Structure 1
Amino acid sequence: MPIIQTKYTADPSPMLHNDTIFLYTSHDESDAEGFKMYDWLLYTTTDMVNWQDRGAVASLDNFKWHDGKNGAWAQQVVERNGKYYMYCPIHGHGIGVLTADSPYGPFTDPIGKPLVWQKEHWYDIDPTVFIDDDGQAYMYWGNPNLYCVKLNEDMISYSGEILFFPKITDYQEGPWFYKRNGHYYLAFASTCCPEGIGYAMSDSPLGPWEYKGHIMDHTPRTRGNHPGIVDYKGKSYCFGQNYDVFRLKEHRHAERRSVSVAEMEYNPDGTIKELPYFLDCKVAQIEPFNPYRKVEAETMAWSEGLQTIQKNPWGKEKWNQLVTGIDDGDYLLVKGVDFGKGAKDFSIWASSHLYGGIIEIHVDSMDNAPIGTVKIGHTKDELREFTTPVKKTTGIHDLYFVFRGTKKQTGNLFNLDCWSFNPL
């Protein structure tokens, strides 16, 4: 299933930084019917199954030259010389670029105009950027045509003309350009509809590109796709998008997409082994999860009914989120938690405007008896610490927080900030 459930996410763009995957995504609003996209989000992981929500890192408001409020389409972030560059299409208005000194932002516009804008058409979407071993950077983009420029070392300008490429078999949009073991790859969303994920290979960063087939075939199980590919801790991963979270709720179509990921393998000649659809793939947890620290509550492998909001819009840590929208029966799952020799108690920082509720702590299954319960009381706007003893649990287990209301309140029970177990 998709890796994010608290928001609708699309157009995955993974980046490796300091032994952590930074996953940038576009964002479909929760009431979207067509494309309703205002900002770009960030999620991080070190184990590939538990993801921390880092909030919105940029929005259309960053581009002062664009007065529209919709069109924040598929982006990519790359790092060069300690700075971070976000390439953002604004549908119908070209491709802009933002810069930051941190992968968390804040991102700002260094040029005050589009980096690329071919005003005679609306094909300038879905940029992908790669810096080759010789230091030359390239930006590919386009639907239904494929274009490329050579970026200058400053990463916010380019030299030469815009290059136009012959049609690659099955190419539609969403290119993802990278290099591995001397081979150049261009993965892409294949011809709609439904879209799959196709790819081409070349011996040169500027082609010619040879179509190689599917990473994931066209399937009626999803309508669109958009690849993002990364190697991490000895494995390769292909991210994409689908409508599987939305379809848990409704049996119709709306542009409310969700990002999924699958482990990907290469053949000895560099070609890619075709994947089944995301629901038929399984991603293994790379390392166990440490509960003996302050864990942001917005870190999860799966959830039901939850949302996230910015903790303090005026604070310095704009990435910090709260878990909210918590109703009776909702739950949160953290996978592969290593309790070691056991914990003596559990603490969680929460706030409740009214009557609050209860958090049940389960391991391995919500049907198992809880190892502890926490009563969250009335705190007004203040985040307070609540602590409870827990039954001794050793080793590695999946951890469930199940939320229960009271006779006085069954919805909007409380907000959650962070939590921690304390070892024996």
Structure 2
Amino acid sequence: MLRQALAASAAVLLMACGAPPEDPFAGLPVVNTDGTNPIVRDKFTADPAPLVHDGRLWLYVGHDEAGEGEMFNITGWLVYSTEDMRTWVDHGSVMKPTDFSWAIRDAWASEVIEKDGRFWFYTTVEHDDTDHGKAIGVAVSDSPTGPFVDARGSALVKNSDTDGPHWWDDIDPTAFEDDDGTVWLYWGNAHLYYAPLAPDMISFADEIRRVEVDHFVEGPWLFKRGEIYYLAYAGIDETEHDWEQIYYATAPTVTGPWTFRGKIMGIAENSFTIHPGIAEFKGDWYLFYHNGALSIDGVEGALGRRSVRAEHMYFNEDGTIRPVVATDEGVSVARGE
């Protein structure tokens, strides 16, 4: 009898060990199942920032909620994830601007980077009247889904810290970890700034510097492929168009010198702004961006009601990026090398 009980217990244990792990995201809303554009269709979203971690691609976006006559009203940051670039899961809100005690509004563009097992959220908000203007905050979480909390209790970059031509030049941070472990921050509007972060991830290890790249306006995105550093950004060439397009430059080091390489994508439909986010995921490269083409329940898209999208991105043998065309099919169609 004892032998039979032990055998039964062993069988149960083996079955438990062999059982597939429970899906941690089961029951969460699914917003897309076929990889077509836009990715999110039940909310207006902007400024996509991809992060690859633990076999998934996480996509952080601002929640666009502008009403008629409003240019922007971005009320918080949301995160979505996928394991195949087709099916996207909605993880909800990760933070709102007033979670920074010194900020008053505006969940503008951001990027999340994983470092030493923690997730660092560099983002743009409106500072209170003690230093009027746009500012860059840093928040932290032990999970890519948050919640994120203010990591330093004050702005990492305030309007008064830089010499920009207007009060919104300190926006759109992009964070990148170089091969030696140093994390670099690039940001700016009209002026492009950069500085290395200290090991604590909430202060700078050196002074803030400026760099010039052709047609730069805003939305820098820094990444590396092979030995080449890339800086994609939203820019304007007024000889061609007075709306933003996505351009890029390359360099042999993270600080340059930067060589202008041309355009990745043209103007966004129904939106003056466009914002790049670029990631390699499971061997393929993707360009994320936004436009104003989506309508939801009769509410039309607009400059302040945009929608995030994704396309395959391909490189030439010399490392230059092939132009990317915005499509409704998105990543559901592989266009080949």
Shorter-chain TM-score tier: 0.7 to 0.9
Between the aligned partners of 2:91 and 2:170, the Cα distance in structure 1 is: 28
TM value normalised by structure 2: 0.79
Q: Distance in 1 between matches of 2:330 and 2:87?
A: 14
Q: What's 1:110 paired with?
A: 151
Q: Offset at 1:161?
A: 1.1
Measure the CA separation in 2 of the matches of 1:215 and 1:252. Answer: 23
Q: Distance in 1 between matches of 2:147 and 2:259?
A: 39
Q: What SS does structure 1 have at the residue aligned with 2:159?
A: coil
- Determine if the alignment matches structure 1 residue 79 to structure 2 residue 114: yes
Shift of 1:220: 5.7
Give 5+ residue unaligned stretches, structure 2: 1-36, 127-132
List aligned pairs for 1:160-239, cutoff 5 A: 160-166=206-212, 168-191=213-236, 193-218=242-267, 222-239=271-288
Q: Could you tell me whether the CA contact under 8 Å between 2:63 and 2:74 is conserved in 1? A: yes
AA at the equivalent of 2:82: T
Superposed counterparts of 1:314-353, under 5 Å: none
Contact map agreement 2:268 2:290 (CA 8 A) in 1:
no
Aligned to 2:78: 41
CA separation of 1:58 and 1:217: change in aligned 2, threshold 3 A: same
Paired residue secondary structure (1:244): coil
Give, as a single letter, the amino acid of the residue that structure 1 aligns with 2:108.
Answer: W
Shift of 1:229: 0.3
CA contact (8 A) 1:93 1:114 kept: no
Q: Rate the CA distance shift 1:216–1:247 in 2: closer, same or farther, 3 A.
A: farther
CA distance 1:109–1:84, change in 2 (3 Å): same
Question: Higher strand fraction: Structure 1 or Structure 2?
Answer: 1
Asked if residue 265 in structure 1 is aligned to residue 314 in structure 2, the reply is: yes
SS in 1 for 2:180: coil
1:163 to partner: Cα distance:
0.4
- Aligned partner of 2:331 in structure 1 is 283
Deviations along 1:330-389, whole A, 9 cap, x unmatched? xxxxxxxxxxxxxxxxxxxxxxxxxxxxxxxxxxxxxxxxxxxxxxxxxxxxxxxxxxxx
**What CA distance in whole angstroms lies between the structure 2 residues aligned with 1:46 and 1:104?**
15
| Higher RCO (CA-CA < 8 Å; seq separation 6+) | 2
> Is the Cα contact below 8 Å between 1:246 and 1:257 reproduced in 2?
no
Structure 1 counterpart of 2:32: none
One-letter code aligned to 1:27: H
Alignment partners' CA distance in 2, 1:24 and 1:252: 20
CA deviation vs aligned residue, 1:153-182 (integer Å, no higher than 9, x gap): 11111122110112x112110000011101
C-alpha distance after superposition, 1:305-325 (max 9, x if no partner): xxxxxxxxxxxxxxxxxxxxx
RMSD: 2.0
| Alpha-carbon distance in 2 for matches of 1:148, 1:60 | 23
Q: Is the 8 A contact 2:245 2:268 kept in 1?
A: yes
Match among 189, 192, 197 for residue 151 of structure 1? 197
Q: Are 1:57 and 2:57 matched, yes or no?
A: no
Q: Does 1:9 align with 2:54?
A: no
Task: Check whether the contact 1:190–1:218 (CA below 8 A) recurs between aligned residues.
Answer: no
Q: CA deviation at 1:204?
A: 1.0
1:279-298: CA deviation from partner (whole Å, max 9, x where unpaired): 3x541389xxxxxxxxxxxx
Counterparts of 1:134 and 1:255 in 2: how far apart (Å)? 39
Contact 1:193-1:224 within 8 A present in 2 as well: no
**For the pair shown, which has the larger CA radius of gyration, 1 or 2?**
1
Contact (CA 8 Å) 2:48, 2:276: kept in 1 or not?
yes
More helix by share: 2
**Distance in 2 of aligned mates of 1:78 and 1:239:** 17
Q: Report Cα offsets for 1:241-290 as digits up to 9, x if no partner.
A: 000113994668441000000000001111100011233x541389xxxx
Is the Cα–Cα contact under 8 Å of residues 43 and 54 in structure 1 kept in the other structure? Answer: yes
SS in 2 for 1:158: coil
Distance in 2 separating the partners of 1:250 and 1:6: 11
Provide the rounded CA distance (Å) in 1 between the counterparts of 2:90 and 2:111. Answer: 18
Q: Secondary structure at the match of 1:104?
A: coil
> TM-score, structure 1 length as denominator?
0.63
Instruction: State the alpha-carbon separation in 2 of the partners of residues 220 and 61 from structure 1.
Output: 31
**Counterpart mapping for 1:377-392 below 5 A:** none
Gaps of 5+ in 1: 287-424
| Distance in 1 between residues matched to 2:151 and 2:192, nearest whole Å | 26
Counterpart position of 1:401: none
Report the residue type matching 1:63 in the other structure. Answer: F
Aligned residue pair count: 282
Does the residue aligned with 1:274 lie in a helix, a strand or coil? coil
Identity over the aligned pairs, expressed in percent? 40
Q: Assess, with a 3 A threshold, how the Cα gap between structure 1 residues 252 and 3 changes in structure 2: closer, same or farther.
A: closer
Q: 1:157 & 1:250 partners in 2: Cα distance? A: 42
- The separation in 2 between residues aligned to 1:226 and 1:241, in whole angstroms, is 6
